[in-house]
Amino acid sequence: MIGFLKKIWLLCLLGSISLLLFSQEVNSTIEETPDPGNEQFLDSLKTKAYKRGFTRFLYKNLVKEDNEVQENLDEQYQYMLGLNGKTIASIDMKALQVFGPTFSDPEKRSESQLARWANKLHTKTNLKIIRKNILLNTGDIFDADQTLDNERIIRALPYIRDVRFFVSENPGNPNMVDILVLTKDVFSFGMDAKIRGVRSAELEMYNQNIWGQGHQISARMVGHADKEPFVGFEGFYTINNINGNFIDFSVGYSNTYRKEGFSVGFEKQFISSATKLGGGATFARLTRADRLLEDDPVETEFPLDYSYFDLWAGYAFQLNKNEADRNMQLVLSGRLRRYDFLDRPPNDPQDNQYFASSNFYLASLTLSKRNYIRDYLVYSYGITEDIPRGYMHELVIGYDKNEFGNRWYSHLYFSSGNFIKYKPQYLYASLGIGGFFNSMRFQQGLIQANGNYVSRIFRVGNQRARQFINLNYVLGIRRFELENLYLKYGIGIRGFESDLALGKQRLSLNLETVFFQNREIMKFNIALFGFADLGIIGSNHKIIFNQDYYSGIGAGIRLRNENLVIRTIQFRLAYYPAHPPDIGGLGILLTERNKSDFYSFQPRKPEPLRFE
């Protein structure tokens, strides 16, 4: 069976590479012209639909004609470069309605009555909130790269759909420029429902932009048929960029069958290559929890009772002696992470340092260089996306003052991206190696390597498409017994939820082709996708290719309205040949999906490499 799977996956890989190479050739020769037959069909459909009121309503609300032309971002950038060195005379701001207006037509009104009602219900972001996120000031010397970086910072806010800085020469003085900042919000109200099997479910309501002030609030009801409390509650409140200092504050409370406790914290990240100071502090008190903090990969049935304190700070030295190094930073950071346990699983000599009271001191030295390329149709559906390019290399050293034995920690991590000559296609690679050690032995070590590739847009018929390839390898070295790698949790094989496919070593390959459709359904953008995943997992004492093979192939559809804060709706059908006995061979899933994040070369707080 393993030999058969190897042959199948070799064919899949070769087929994907062939399609990719063919697409690059096709992309260079095909002109982006609409299909005449498709246009004639739509014209005929529109003519017939507009004869009756009901069918006219359906056509206007279900079918969107693809008449909007995406902006030429490179031409905009070249124009802005020609204005470098001029003085900023004025900065004006305007927040557009969620539905209707576009950057090319700010006064456009929505034809839908429902959309107009939604615009009235939504409170546009206060211009004072927009202003405190603008790094430029009147009297400054205009810099195109700094301006586009400021666009990226604002675009990353959870309540902003997109932003554009329009720069023009001042009509009264050719040595000065005027800037108009247009922002477009997302509709800030959202809901999320999850059903976990037949005994557990969640319902969440949230607002990402309360009163137009950029504050975020969420409330979630969590229920379980067998575990108390049968109906629980979680709530969170976040404030972004307090007083324009880019300090974020958050507080949360939980009382569900999974955990009970609260957390509070603030943080300032190195959001820009010009940021000199970063840092943050977090305190959490959990009287009952099934894991260490929310994103810890190790889950336990024993209810943990502990407190957590995290403090870090960093300073960036700007290495901008010449134009080529203007975005380069050397960052020195330090961190204290403290756990105090009041209750935990019974002491196990093999794993006792995982749930141990400790003071963990960390320091890092990070060399980072980054800038961003603007593009469309990568992980989003028509809005501007900022793809990072550059590198981030770090050395982390730490000392774990642990109640079950003190030990040192160290790792090296290297990452680089977008070193492909022909754009816009993107390649990212990273390598990390590290672990804990004392005078006796090396433990909790790992080696990890990642590679991500995103092709340029190519056409298949009248559809735009991209090819995505992800390769991931992790090797654990003397990991604790309770620490395991899986092929689930979105790492490995999509929709594969087996608890039996585990080990201390994993290799995964993910291939996906996404076809971005030219039409919308009820204002939702459509993307069709097909995927093929391969996962190899098992012991760290054997060569990875001699371990257990699993795979998944399938297809699906994604619906996304970039005007709404709700997540992407996804329907996926998958087949898992040679699957473990705890899952079936066929997977059908309708769920919400978080938008994929780009890799980042942003300096971060010192932290151990994650084994997950």
pLDDT digits (tens, 9 = 90+) for 410-465: 999 999 998 676 667 899 999 999 999 987 889 999 999 999 999 989 988 888 99
Q: Which residue has the higher pLDDT, 222 or 120?
A: 222
Q: What is the pLDDT, as a whole number, of residue 188?
A: 85
Q: Is residue 317 part of a domain?
A: yes
| Domain identity same for 169 and 296 | no
Q: For residue 55, is it within any domain?
A: no
Higher pLDDT pick, 26 / 406: 406
Range 136-151 average pLDDT: 92
- For residue 5, pLDDT over 90 is answered with no
Residue 484: the pLDDT is 94
pLDDT at 409 over 90: yes
Lowest mean pLDDT: which of 100-114, 174-188, 217-231, 260-274?
100-114
Where residue 52 falls among pLDDT bands split at 50, 70, 90? low
Q: Is the pLDDT of residue 67 over 70?
A: no
Mean pLDDT of 16-45: 38
Size (the chain), residues: 612
- The sign of the torsion formed by the CA atoms of 78, 84, 90, 92 equals positive
pLDDT at 44 over 70: no
Does 317 lie in the same domain as 174?
A: no
Residue 414 counted as domain residue: yes
Q: Mind giving me the DSSP string for 466-510?
A: EEEEEEEEEEEES--TT--EES-TTSSSTT---SSSEESEEEEEE
Q: 106: which residues sit within 8 A by CB, 6+ positions away?
A: 94, 96, 182
Is the pLDDT at 36 greater than 50? The verdict is: no
What CATH number is given to the structural domain containing 342? 2.40.160
**Do 181 and 265 fall within a single domain?**
no
* Share of residues in the chain with pLDDT > 90 (%): 55
- Structure tokens, 33: 């012209």
Burial of 41 (0-12, 13-18, 19+ CB in 10 A): exposed
Task: Convert the pLDDT of each residue in 299-340 to its tens digit.
Answer: 888 999 999 999 999 999 988 766 656 789 999 999 999 999
Identify the pLDDT of residue 551. Answer: 95
Least confident stretch, 19-23, 140-144, 209-213, 434-438: 19-23
Q: How far apart are CA 401 and CA 398, in angstroms?
A: 10
Distance CA 516, CA 447 (A): 36
**CATH number for the domain harbouring residue 163:** 3.10.20.310
Task: Measure the CA–CA gap between 435 and 55, rounded to whole angstroms.
Answer: 65
29: number of Cβ within 10 Å:
7
Let me know if residue 157 belongs to a domain.
yes
Domain end among 137, 161, 185: 185
> Average pLDDT for residues 560-582, to the nearest whole number?
87
Q: Is the pLDDT higher at 261 or at 41? A: 261
Residues 267 and 179 in one domain: no
pLDDT tens-digit series, residues 370-391? 988 888 888 888 788 888 999 9
Confidence class for position 10, pLDDT limits 50, 70, 90? very low
CB 208 within 8 A of CB 220: no
- The lowest-confidence range among 40-54, 106-120, 368-382, 550-564 is 40-54
**Of residues 90 and 423, more confidently modeled:** 90
279 residue type, one letter? G
- The answer to the question of residue 480 being in a domain is yes
Residue 458 shares a structural domain with residue 573: yes
The structural domain count of the chain equals: 2
pLDDT at 19 (0 to 100): 38
Q: What is the mean pLDDT of residues 46-54?
A: 50
Same-domain status, 447 and 581: yes
More confident position, 311 or 563: 311
E strand or H helix at 263, and its extent? strand 259-268
Same domain membership, residue 522 and residue 386: yes
Q: Which of 95-104, 315-324, 501-510 has the lowest mean pLDDT?
A: 315-324
Which pLDDT score, from 0 to 100, does residue 463 have?
A: 87
Reported as a single tens digit per residue, the pLDDT across 580-597 is: 999 999 988 877 777 677
Q: What is the DSSP letter of 566?
A: S
Same domain, 263 and 134: no
C-alpha torsion sign, points 101, 105, 107, 111: negative
Looking at every residue in the chain, the average pLDDT score rounds to 85
In angstroms, the CA 196 to CA 210 distance is 30
Give yes or no: residues 432 and 535 share one domain: yes
The string of pLDDT tens digits covering residues 218-243 is: 999 999 988 889 999 999 999 999 98
pLDDT recorded at residue 421: 65
Domain that residue 510 falls in: 258-593
Residues 461-485 have pLDDT tens digits of: 888 999 999 999 999 999 999 999 9
Is the per-residue pLDDT at 17 higher than 60? no
Strands 176-185, 87-96: pairing kind? parallel
What's the confidence (pLDDT) of residue 323? 62
Question: What Rg, from alpha-carbon coordinates, does the chain have?
Answer: 26
Shared domain for 287 and 168, answered yes or no, is no
More confident residue, 11 or 363: 363
* pLDDT in the model for residue 42: 43
Handedness of CA 583, 585, 591, 596 (dihedral sign): positive
User: So what's the pLDDT on residue 252?
Assistant: 96
Asked whether 505 and 540 are in contact (CB, 8 A), the reply is yes
Domain shared by 278 and 181, yes or no: no
Percent of the chain scoring above 70 in pLDDT: 86
Are residues 553 and 468 both part of a single domain? yes
**What local confidence, expressed as pLDDT, does residue 337 receive?**
97
pLDDT band at 546 (very low <50, low <70, confident <90, very high): very high
Report field, pTM of the whole predicted structure over 0.85: no
Residue 531 counted as domain residue: yes
Task: Note whether residue 539 is domain-resident.
Answer: yes
Measure the CA–CA gap between 486 and 460, rounded to whole angstroms: 35
241 is a domain residue? no
Which of 185, 211, 234 is the C-terminal boundary of a domain?
A: 185
